[in-house]
Structure 1
Amino acid sequence: MKRTTFRMAQRPLADDIRLKLGTLSPAERRVARVLLAAYPSAGFETVSAIAERAGVSAPTVLRFVGRLGFTGFPDFQGALRRELDARNASPISLYETAGEPSSTDSADGLISRTSELLSAALVKTLAEVPPHDLRSAVALLSDRKRRITLLGGRFTHLLAQYLGLHLMQLRRDVRFLPDRDVERTAALAALSRRDVVVVFDYRRYEETNLAVARLTQESGGKVIVFTDTWLSPATTHAEVVLSSRVDSPSPYDSLVPTLAVIEAIVAGLVGTLGTDAHEHMKHSEDVARRINLV
């Protein structure tokens, strides 16, 4: 029986660089920060250009890529190109790469393959969530002085709505970024230091999400980005980045691991908000009852 496979999500080189920062020499750290500051485009510059920008020698750049496990600079750039190919993949390109799926897969085989892929993706995602970022997300979203705005993409607007509806039951000042141009412009023009904007942005990343993240940071607000392992460009402007694996038995990226991260955050919010969340829920239930919604 033919078994169709789709590309697995790999950790981006940016993550490897961040993880090694503490083990690098001061000169190598300067190279790492140059690459991270303009990731991934900086990685396609010449060795001499990177060395000049970092204020180090060319051999230092080569030692740095060796620390990442590459045999040379062309090897490093080749890995970066493969990462960009995966980062820009669409469902149709993944479908064509894998070949036509079999119509003879048994239900048992499909369930087994789905269980294997999603279980592994879920375990890896939760293991790779930085505790600091998770704590920061809960702290920002539970701060009752802040206003929360959420937005997503083609499919991930569903996740934004899922998190947002939970937030609305637990606290005040939660909204979704409006779709209509005048309302959206007004909401973004009113951004200030009290705002937290939650962005869901997965590959093929959307320019609108990047622009909103940039505007939020410029206004003094905080940005939380949920993204995949290749990292949305919006992460450049983020206070908190929560990445998830997207491995799937189909050419469509799975949102299951991200949903698990959201569930963890909701649990953290319930614990942090405590009796305030309980009182807010009771008040909401009372209002819903009075207008015959429950």
Structure 2
Amino acid sequence: MSRTDLTIAERIQSQLDTLTRAERQLAHAILENYPASGLGPLSALARDAGVSGPTVLRMVQKLGYSGYPDFQAELREELRAKVKSPIAKYDNWAEGAPSGHILNRFTEAVIDNIRHSLAQIEPEAFDAACALIADPDRKVHIVGGRITHTLAEYLYLHMQVIRPGVTHIQSTSNTWPHDLLDAGPGDIFVIFDMRRYENNTLKLAEMAVARGAQIILFTDQWRSPIHALAGICFSSRIVVPSAWDSLATPQLLVETMISAVQGLLWEDTRRRMETLEEMFDQTKLFRKFT
């Protein structure tokens, strides 16, 4: 980003408590259809949010912009960042790369990503997501994309041990509509979608919601289009000195979620683990040294 490491959505969320009632109404309207909501004329945004034009101007100035055109310019820059290819990402950071070993620079970027991301996540929302996933009366479906399937598989492997009723859906496969056949009200879809957002994953999310399911979304700081469908959304900062984005922060959230859900279901999980260990012994999957 040009002027700050924070996206406009992150700025809005961090300043909600300082806004007036009308400004908060406007802020929620912007976030509801972000970033498209702020790309039209000022009058259209004011009308859609049910506020006055001066309210729009006051709020964008509180966010640090000189006026509405300045605010829109930053939104357009965010949109360009959303669709950057790995080559463009590499060129962007390599041009002004500071001196120092890549180990240090990369680590500092990851730590900064974690710090910023955790500051934007409400503990109550995280607890609510864990409670939904731990609910034995709900089926849980876990979905990832071309790169984020690694996060989905990691979460699935652990949740499959922790509780029954968990499925892993391959969003890039032409068989994923089969997985929706038995999905219905009360089901939970945990979806991972980072930039460059995948059309298949969006379509799957739309169809899941149409069947009455709820979505827990793991996405990046610019937020996948799926965020408009999600009941709970966790945005992680992912930019590092690389042609590729970092999954370190969402991986941290996933591992924390595994720990939390395991704690909520520990007695049942322990019994499942004991049964699984007996199976491992029978199959001699792991070496034993005693």
Helix, strand or coil for the counterpart of 1:197? strand
Superposed CA RMSD in Å reads 2.4
How far, CA to CA, are the matches of 2:2 and 2:152 in structure 1?
26
How far, CA to CA, are the matches of 2:103 and 2:3 in structure 1?
18
Structure 1 stretches of 5 or more lacking a match? 1-5
Amino acid at match of 1:130: E
Helix, strand or coil for the counterpart of 1:269? helix
On the 8 A contact 1:126/1:261 being kept in 2, the answer is no
| 1:132-159 deviation line (CA, Å, top 9, x unaligned) | 2210121111111111111111211001
The structure-2 alpha-carbon separation of the partners of 1:111 and 1:9, relative to structure 1 and needing over 3 Å to count, comes to farther
Task: Give 1:31 deviation, angstroms.
Answer: 2.2
On the 8 A contact 2:142/2:167 being kept in 1, the answer is yes
Amino acid at match of 1:249: P
1:11 matched to 2:36 = no
| 1:91-150 deviation line (CA, Å, top 9, x unaligned) | 111123344799xx9xx8222222222222233333432202210121111111111111
1:1-294 equivalences in 2 (<5 Å): 10-99=5-94, 109-178=101-170, 180-181=173-174, 183-294=175-286
The structure-2 alpha-carbon separation of the partners of 1:286 and 1:194, relative to structure 1 and needing over 3 Å to count, comes to farther
How far, CA to CA, are the matches of 1:23 and 1:87 in structure 2?
28
The structure-2 alpha-carbon separation of the partners of 1:67 and 1:170, relative to structure 1 and needing over 3 Å to count, comes to same
Task: Give 1:250 deviation, angstroms.
Answer: 1.2
On the 8 A contact 1:9/1:247 being kept in 2, the answer is no
Amino acid at match of 2:32: A
Helix, strand or coil for the counterpart of 1:150? strand
On the 8 A contact 2:136/2:163 being kept in 1, the answer is yes
Q: What TM-score, normalized to structure 1?
A: 0.88
On the 8 A contact 1:21/1:29 being kept in 2, the answer is yes
Larger relative CO (CA 8 A, sep 6+): 1 or 2? Answer: 1
Among the aligned pairs, what percent are the same residue? 36
How far, CA to CA, are the matches of 1:96 and 1:52 in structure 2?
40
Q: What TM-score, normalized to structure 2?
A: 0.89
The structure-2 alpha-carbon separation of the partners of 1:222 and 1:63, relative to structure 1 and needing over 3 Å to count, comes to same
Amino acid at match of 2:183: L
| 1:148-184 deviation line (CA, Å, top 9, x unaligned) | 1111112110010011101111111111114643x42
How far, CA to CA, are the matches of 1:9 and 1:249 in structure 2?
17
How far, CA to CA, are the matches of 2:249 and 2:190 in structure 1?
17
The structure-2 alpha-carbon separation of the partners of 1:279 and 1:136, relative to structure 1 and needing over 3 Å to count, comes to same
On the 8 A contact 1:9/1:246 being kept in 2, the answer is no
How far, CA to CA, are the matches of 2:231 and 2:271 in structure 1?
29
Task: Give 1:209 deviation, angstroms.
Answer: 1.6
Amino acid at match of 2:37: A
Helix, strand or coil for the counterpart of 1:53? helix
| 1:260-294 deviation line (CA, Å, top 9, x unaligned) | 11111111112111111101111122234334434
Helix, strand or coil for the counterpart of 1:224? strand
On the 8 A contact 1:149/1:174 being kept in 2, the answer is yes
Helix, strand or coil for the counterpart of 1:177? strand
Which deviates more from structure 2 when the two are superposed, residues 168-177 or residues 113-122? 113-122
- What number of residue pairs does the alignment pair up? 284
Counterpart in the other structure of 1:3: none
How far, CA to CA, are the matches of 1:155 and 1:92 in structure 2?
16
Which deviates more from structure 2 when the two are superposed, residues 194-203 or residues 23-32? 23-32
Structure 2 stretches of 5 or more lacking a match? none
